[in-house]
Chains A and B, each alone.
Chain A
Amino acid sequence: MSRLLKMLFYLLPPLLVVIAATTVNFKTDLSAFIIAGDNVEELLLASEMQSGALSRRYLISVGSESLKPVPKAFMQTLRTRLNAIDGVVDVWSPEQQNNLEPVLQSLYGHYGGALYSLDPEEDLAALFTPQGLTQRAEFLKQALLSPQGAIVKKIALQDPLLLILSGFRTVGEQMRQTTQDDAQFRNLILETEADGLDAVRQSRIQTSIDAVFNELMQTHREAWQLEMTGVPVFAAATQKLIQGDITQVSILSSLALMMLFLLLFRSFGALFQVFTLLMTVVLSAILATSIIFGYVHGMTVAIGSTLIGICIDYPIHALAHAAQAENKSAAIVKIWPSMLLGGVTTLIGYAALGASGYPGFQQVAVYAGTGIVAALLLTRFILPGLVADGRRGRLNVPLVAVWASFSDHYRRWLLVLLLVLVGASLFGVQSLRWLEDMQDLTPELNYLKDNDKRIRARMVSIEPGRFVMITADDTESVLQKSERVYTVLEQLKRQGDLTDYFGLYPWLLSAERQWHNQELLQRYLTDENRRLWRLALRQQGLSVERLGDLNYPKQEPLTLERVFATPVKRLIDSRVITTENRSVVMIWLADHKPVALQEAFASIDGVRYFSQRDMLNDMTRDYTDRARILLTVGLALIMLLLIVRYKNPVKAIRTLLPALLAALLILGFWSMSGAAISFLHLVGFLLVVAICVDYGIFYQENRGGDIDLTYQAMAASMLTSVLAFGCLGTAESTSLKILAGVVALGVLLGFLFCPLIIRPTDDAKSVGPKI
């Protein structure tokens, strides 16, 4: 290789670093890892979770379990100070309804005749009786005598029967429950400008919230605490977790691999050559991923860092075989077919990872796939030129020769032992426990989930993540469907299956229902009913002159847009999502019996009881099923490849067997330990097979003709893989730990089984002459 070419090779990483630094968009937000369903409604909800109004809100709770409630004056000061934080749109108290009273009068005062009831036939029949009208006049008098009399007066002049207040009576009750549920704590809702998943900006806001509170607390002796929850809190915490993992895993695995390489090869020159090659591989993978996806996610880099541990295998084999060969290039070329076949089988494993459907893994697959291809090509076409002049000692990994010799001597007994273990594993596999709750994959976030549950319990009686979801093509249709649902929910309340629900009524009804209500009311406004009303007014001492005319002119229906132009928006915007061709209404639920609701809505088109947890668990099952299929397909593909390569099914099976048995033993181990198996374990098994089959191939083909050396090279590459995945196992993320644990253990077992299962002497002869 010419000096110029060598120089170009060593200049490649810095050049790629510059290109990557200037062109690649690195992301650490969670959008790529948000688990969305596979239907339109669930995707809409997922999108709402990422950037909708709800995602941008914090629920803040201040107080202490043991102290007296925080004074409202303190909360007012806190609210004012929080409002001044850059990026905060508004802060309000969930029980705050003062600013709704003007809306009630100015907007809803005109719509009494349209929004008064969900069941106008029954309600009007009860109202327009002598007794009903007398009671209504009594209520009107009480309301006028209350301190809210000024507002009631304005409403009564437009709506003497106070029809609009009928619907709002339940809202008043719900709001009052909110204030009384946990008097020890005072709560605030804070809305930000930034999306909930914009973890960088949200982290800054969270720091500012804490700073404002701590500053205020300097003048108070009480030990009040501020707690917050919401999508932004989860986003910031998860990002912190991911960033910590990326930094830790990347640095640790790079340093550990360098140390290991140095220990194995005892050559700084080789270290420099191989790690320059690996840097080129990683940077190429980053650039390729960026070109395909437009960005590179931090998690991809974290998981992809294991790539170094896999890609280093090819130069390790090359260096090991070239070390003492006269013609080093020829030695590397000689083992190239084994490397290529091994690379292809590993690629199949990563392709399956990408096809698992788990968010973000597609990027990992592309990243790893590109890396493997780049590593193979560089090992084949560049490395021989770099190592042509050097002379190194023979690779000698401790205990490897001992194990090879031991397994050769006691093969029969060891095979019996292996068979027993395999039998036990097969027996255990039957009692394998499958993971059913997706939340078990993220126990590191349990403290946030507990925190969320605790804070929400202080604020509302709504069960988070459970609601009735109604979908239709447009707003009017979805409102009409919702009205049918309210009737069912009322029935469920009467049966005791539901304590309360929070829909769009009385804030809004469909235009169809508003017209219907108005028309029906007109029919009741007869001379006789007017006479009865005036009589009732006189009995209560109310002004017949000002209130006696039941004049309810027909109004154009109230629209969602008009409601959203008022402060009512922030009360109900979590209950409706509208896009150009889809509208979704979410009716939130208080305590309820899920089965009763599921059954109630099972046969209503476009309506379903939705449980976020159930959805996630359904998806867990889907992912697991998909992972099972991928495992089967992946194995079949690898098998097929080996059969094509060897034109001998027995030989192909023997090559694959160490990998398969390693995976099977891990399965048995997991089933005996009682741990639940997730789709991540299955993906891990596939990676084990994809990586271990390389060992089978190298051992089977033994292209260097020196089986001891081949096994030494395999040991070195196994150690690098175990080390890389071991480093991944130090991550805090449970998903990464699972993946790392399965692969690291599987790779070790696969390596150990090779000399037991594959007879090298026979095979070595069949592949080709020694160099």
Chain B
Amino acid sequence: MNPIKRHGFKFGIGLIALIFSCTGRSEDTLTALMQRMQSDTAVRIAYRETRTLELMESPWLGSGYMYSLPPDLMIREQLQPERVLMAVKGEQMFYYDPSEDVRRQDEMDYDSPLTLNLTVFKALINADEDLLRKVYRVDFVSREQGWVMTLKPKQSKESGFSIVISGPAGQQADRIEVKQPDGDSSEFALQKDAEGVEVEAEVNRLYLELQGK
């Protein structure tokens, strides 16, 4: 497997976590938001990713579904431009590229800057505000129209890297923007698609596929 792809799955999984984790209300504070985070049912969210890179003539587009199954399973199924599965369960990360028939499993590595997003995930999923604040400077703004959470790495806050998560008041996140220090960016548009028993069955099927079972 291409090493670049391998790390790609860590990045993608981090984003899934962010998407499922963030819901807010007009009167929300970060603490209150985090306390309400854990869902008790399987959820599917459709996403569209737009990447704007300096070295590409036009933005790159991707789309697929993101799944969450409490307590600790998250799956991202990229369908366009090609199908790729990524997941995180507990401390383990999974990757499966059906076109190349490549599977990989790895433990989350908190040292790696490539998995910086996963630290956010772990913090949000466990409602660990201390961990989140240890790694990121967190700005949480809640207004009538919606809420915005901006995360900047504490160690290099002037680097230009940031993650902005936002959503309508009282609802979960519908937009995530990741800005790289060199000006490149990725934007995710999210829409809740389905939830319940059928989604749970789908998540379990995808998880088995990821494991090659």
Name A residues whose Cβ lies closer than 8 Å to a Cβ of B. Answer: 69, 71-73, 76, 98, 141-150, 152-153, 156-157, 172, 176, 538, 541-544, 546-547
CA of A543 to CA of B55 in the docked complex: distance in angstroms? 5
Q: Are B8 and A153 in contact (CB under 8 A)?
A: no
Check A176/B3 contact, CB under 8 A, given A71-B107, A98-B112. Answer: yes
Q: Are A149 and B53 in contact (CB under 8 A)?
A: yes
**Contacts of A546 on B, CB cut-off 8 Å?**
54-55
Query: Which residues of B1-52 are within 8 A (CB) of A?
Result: 2-8, 10-11, 51
Closest chain-B Cβ to A10's Cβ sits at a distance in Å of 69
CA of A541 to CA of B81 in the docked complex: distance in angstroms? 14
Q: Are A150 and B55 in contact (CB under 8 A)?
A: no
CA of A142 to CA of B7 in the docked complex: distance in angstroms? 12
What is the chain B residue whose CB lies nearest that of A98? Answer: B112
Check A73/B110 contact, CB under 8 A, given A145-B51, A146-B7, A147-B11. Answer: yes
Determine which of B8, B55, B111 lies in contact with A147 in the assembled complex, contact meaning CB atoms within 8 Å.
B8
Number of residues on chain B facing chain A (CB within 8 A): 30
Q: Is the interface of A mostly helix, strand, loop or mixed?
A: helix
Q: Are A146 and B107 in contact (CB under 8 A)?
A: no
Closest chain-A Cβ to B211's Cβ sits at a distance in Å of 15
Q: List 13 A-B contacts (CB under 8 A).
A: A71-B107, A72-B107, A144-B53, A144-B55, A145-B8, A145-B53, A145-B60, A146-B2, A149-B180, A150-B184, A542-B56, A543-B57, A546-B55
B212 at the interface (CB under 8 A from A): no
What is the chain A residue whose CB lies nearest that of B11? Answer: A147
Closest chain-B Cβ to A565's Cβ sits at a distance in Å of 23
Q: Mark B107-133, 1 if CB is under 8 A from A, else 0.
A: 111111110000000000000000000
CA of A71 to CA of B91 in the docked complex: distance in angstroms? 9
CA of A98 to CA of B55 in the docked complex: distance in angstroms? 24
Q: Are B57 and A150 in contact (CB under 8 A)?
A: no
Check A542/B8 contact, CB under 8 A, given A72-B107, A98-B111, A98-B113. Answer: no
Q: Are A146 and B111 in contact (CB under 8 A)?
A: no
Q: Are B108 and A72 in contact (CB under 8 A)?
A: yes
**Contacts of A547 on B, CB cut-off 8 Å?**
55
Closest chain-A Cβ to B169's Cβ sits at a distance in Å of 32
- Rank and list the top 6 A-B pairs by shortest CB-CB distance, nearest first: A146-B4, A147-B11, A172-B3, A543-B55, A146-B8, A147-B7
What is the chain A residue whose CB lies nearest that of B8? Answer: A146
B58 at the interface (CB under 8 A from A): yes
**Contacts of B182 on A, CB cut-off 8 Å?**
150, 153
Q: Are A156 and B55 in contact (CB under 8 A)?
A: yes
What is the chain A residue whose CB lies nearest that of B12? Answer: A147
B196 at the interface (CB under 8 A from A): no
Check A72/B109 contact, CB under 8 A, given A149-B184, A150-B184. Answer: yes
**Contacts of A76 on B, CB cut-off 8 Å?**
110-111
Q: Are A150 and B2 in contact (CB under 8 A)?
A: no
Closest chain-B Cβ to A176's Cβ sits at a distance in Å of 7
**Contacts of B55 on A, CB cut-off 8 Å?**
144, 153, 156-157, 542-543, 546-547
CA of A187 to CA of B91 in the docked complex: distance in angstroms? 19
Closest chain-B Cβ to A568's Cβ sits at a distance in Å of 17
**Contacts of A538 on B, CB cut-off 8 Å?**
57
CA of A72 to CA of B114 in the docked complex: distance in angstroms? 15
**Contacts of A150 on B, CB cut-off 8 Å?**
180-182, 184
Determine which of A148, A152, A156 lies in contact with B114 in the assembled complex, contact meaning CB atoms within 8 Å.
A148
Q: Are A541 and B10 in contact (CB under 8 A)?
A: no
**Contacts of B7 on A, CB cut-off 8 Å?**
146-148
CA of A153 to CA of B5 in the docked complex: distance in angstroms? 16
Q: Are B3 and A541 in contact (CB under 8 A)?
A: no
Closest chain-A Cβ to B79's Cβ sits at a distance in Å of 16
Further 13 A-B residue pairs, CB within 8 A, beyond A150-B181, A176-B6: A72-B110, A76-B111, A98-B114, A142-B5, A145-B60, A146-B7, A146-B8, A147-B4, A147-B7, A150-B182, A157-B55, A543-B54, A543-B56
What is the chain B residue whose CB lies nearest that of A171? Answer: B3
Closest chain-A Cβ to B7's Cβ sits at a distance in Å of 5
CA of A72 to CA of B3 in the docked complex: distance in angstroms? 19
Query: Which residues of B84-122 are within 8 A (CB) of A?
Result: 91, 107-114
Closest chain-A Cβ to B161's Cβ sits at a distance in Å of 9
Closest chain-A Cβ to B106's Cβ sits at a distance in Å of 8
CA of A143 to CA of B182 in the docked complex: distance in angstroms? 16
Check A541/B91 contact, CB under 8 A, given A147-B10, A153-B182. Answer: no
What is the chain B residue whose CB lies nearest that of A76? Answer: B111
Closest chain-A Cβ to B118's Cβ sits at a distance in Å of 11
**Contacts of A141 on B, CB cut-off 8 Å?**
56
CA of A145 to CA of B54 in the docked complex: distance in angstroms? 11
**Contacts of A157 on B, CB cut-off 8 Å?**
55
Determine which of B4, B57, B91, B114 lies in contact with A542 in the assembled complex, contact meaning CB atoms within 8 Å.
B57
Closest chain-B Cβ to A118's Cβ sits at a distance in Å of 21
**Contacts of A71 on B, CB cut-off 8 Å?**
91, 107
**Contacts of A543 on B, CB cut-off 8 Å?**
54-57
CA of A172 to CA of B180 in the docked complex: distance in angstroms? 25
**Contacts of B184 on A, CB cut-off 8 Å?**
149-150, 153
What is the chain A residue whose CB lies nearest that of B113? Answer: A98
What is the chain A residue whose CB lies nearest that of B3? Answer: A172
CA of A69 to CA of B112 in the docked complex: distance in angstroms? 18
What is the chain B residue whose CB lies nearest that of A152? Answer: B4
Closest chain-A Cβ to B94's Cβ sits at a distance in Å of 14
What is the chain A residue whose CB lies nearest that of B81? Answer: A145
Q: Are A541 and B57 in contact (CB under 8 A)?
A: yes
**Contacts of B3 on A, CB cut-off 8 Å?**
148, 172, 176
Q: Are B107 and A69 in contact (CB under 8 A)?
A: yes
**Contacts of B91 on A, CB cut-off 8 Å?**
71
> Could you say which of A141, A149, A150 has the most chain B C-beta atoms within 10 Å of its C-beta?
A149
CA of A544 to CA of B110 in the docked complex: distance in angstroms? 37
CA of A546 to CA of B53 in the docked complex: distance in angstroms? 12
Q: Are A144 and B56 in contact (CB under 8 A)?
A: yes
Q: Are A153 and B110 in contact (CB under 8 A)?
A: no
Closest chain-A Cβ to B201's Cβ sits at a distance in Å of 28
Closest chain-A Cβ to B108's Cβ sits at a distance in Å of 7
